[in-house]
Amino acid sequence: MLVGKPPDIPSSEITPKSAYQQYVNRRHFLRGAAAVGAVALGGDRLGGILAPRTRVLASTKLNTVSSPLTTTGEQLTSLEDITHYNNFYEFGVNKDDPAKNAGALPTRPWSVKIEGKVAKPQTFDIDALLKLRPLEDRIYRMRCVEAWSMVIPWVGYSFSELIKQCQPLASAKYVQFLSYYNWHVEPWGSSETSISWPYSEGLRMDEAMNPLTLLTFGLYGDTLPNQDGAPVRIVVPWKYGFKSAKSIVKMKFVDKQPDTTWNLQAPNEYGFYSNVNPNVDHPRWSQKYERRIGLPFYEQRRATLMFNGYGDFVASMYAGMNLKKDF
């Protein structure tokens, strides 16, 4: 069973944080020792490579409750890797760029505008969103379309709770998410890519209402680090990572399938649905296997699961669809 019964205590209190702290200390010790050696050898560049990476620590502890929808039996990816191995092209195209550059993202004050085909269009302040429902600890696998994966302890509540507040009309068939974009804060988005911003993603209404779809405010029990999509993002664990839009400022309920960033960029490589599917290869690589981040190279490789292992919760939504055509 991939998703088990709720643990008795919140997952953030079990071990990961302390285990992670030890892990970091060991790593930092090794890096420190290595740096001393490198300096002794006169290798400035080597020392630079080995020095501890920058940390983003402007986080606040969140009060959380446990959730029956958390994934059990997986080793968590370390906070270090979750915060230093990111795709967030507005802040640069290299994996370590967002950790360096996302500090400038102004996460307070922040509001999320909800518009389109809803009975109650409204703008929520981030603090109001945080208080709307109890925040739950939810561990999910995260599978990137680039064939790597992580296991991340998110904090949030089902997106359906927010949807209910807005009372979508019968004509609302899809919801579109738009991310924050400001050229002055994120110059890398236009200097390093040809993508037209802001980042846009979308879900069909039943996908958006699925209880697994998480309106996410934190990870490892704290508020989201900027590079992971602060202050609020969506997490859709059975789809490739790019479907989970970060730093959301607007949600639009619409009657037609919305234009989404990567689908516009390369429609043959990134479909609108982009459900994790080991049987549909990316044109340039196989999706049958994935590399688990943070493990030694001889333990990284593992089989990719249909719907990233969440088929029991989501497969019925796609009954009758040809997932090779609608990939």
Partner 1 sequence: MKRSTLILVKTLTWLACLAPLAWLIWGAVTNNLGADQIHTITFATGRTTLRLLLIALAITPVRRLVPQLSWLIKFRRLLGLFAFFYASLHLMTWVALYTGFDPHAMAADIVKRRYITAGMTAWLLLLPLAATSTNWSIRKLGGKNWNRLHRLVYFAAVAGVIHYWWQVKSGVLTPIGVTVILAVLLAARPVLTWRQRRKGHAAVVRPLVPSP
Measured CA to CA in angstroms, residue 174 lies from 111, 118, 168, 307 at distances of 21, 11, 10, 20
Interaction mask 93-112, partner 1, x per CB under 8 A: x-x-----------------
Measured CA to CA in angstroms, residue 138 lies from 76, 166, 237 at distances of 12, 24, 11
Q: Using CB under 8 A, which of 17, 28, 31, 113 touches partner 1?
A: 31
Interaction mask 191-230, partner 1, x per CB under 8 A: --xx------------------------------------
The H-or-E segment that residue 130 falls in is helix 126-131
3-state secondary structure of 47: helix
Chain positions 120 to 149 lying near partner 1, rule: CB under 8 A, are 148
CB 108 within 8 A of CB 231: yes
Query: According to the binding rule CB under 8 A, does residue 289 interact with partner 1?
Result: yes
Query: According to the binding rule CB under 8 A, does residue 55 interact with partner 1?
Result: no
Query: According to the binding rule CB under 8 A, does residue 61 interact with partner 1?
Result: no
How many other β-carbons are positioned within 10 Å of the β-carbon of residue 198?
20
Q: Using CB under 8 A, which of 19, 44, 285, 312 touches partner 1?
A: 285
Query: According to the binding rule CB under 8 A, does residue 291 interact with partner 1?
Result: yes
3-state secondary structure of 258: coil
Taking the CA of residue 68 as centre, how many other CA atoms within 13 Å lie in the half-sphere pointing to its CB? 3
Chain positions 257 to 276 lying near partner 1, rule: CB under 8 A, are 266
Q: Using CB under 8 A, which of 59, 84, 199, 220 touches partner 1?
A: 84
* Of the candidates 130, 148, 147, 135, the residue with the CA atom closest to the CA atom of residue 82: 148
Name the minimum Å distance from CB 303 to partner 1.
Answer: 9
Would you state the structure tokens that stand for residue 169, as one six-digit string?
């009309």
Name the minimum Å distance from CB 32 to partner 1.
Answer: 11
Query: According to the binding rule CB under 8 A, does residue 284 interact with partner 1?
Result: yes
Name the minimum Å distance from CB 85 to partner 1.
Answer: 4
Q: Cα(192)–Cα(94) distance, rounded to whole angstroms? A: 10
Give bridge partners of residue 179 from the DSSP assignment.
Answer: 248
Name the minimum Å distance from CB 276 to partner 1.
Answer: 18
Task: Name the residue nearer to partner 1 (CB basis): 61 or 301.
Answer: 301
How many other β-carbons are positioned within 10 Å of the β-carbon of residue 185?
17
Name the minimum Å distance from CB 74 to partner 1.
Answer: 17
Q: Cα(192)–Cα(179) distance, rounded to whole angstroms? A: 18
Chain positions 154 to 193 lying near partner 1, rule: CB under 8 A, are 193
Dihedral angle sign, alpha carbons of residues 298, 304, 309, 310: positive
Interaction mask 63-82, partner 1, x per CB under 8 A: ------------------x-
Chain contacts with partner 1 (rule: CB under 8 A): 27, 30-31, 34, 50, 81, 84-85, 93, 95, 148, 193-194, 266, 281, 284-286, 288-289, 291, 293-298, 300-301
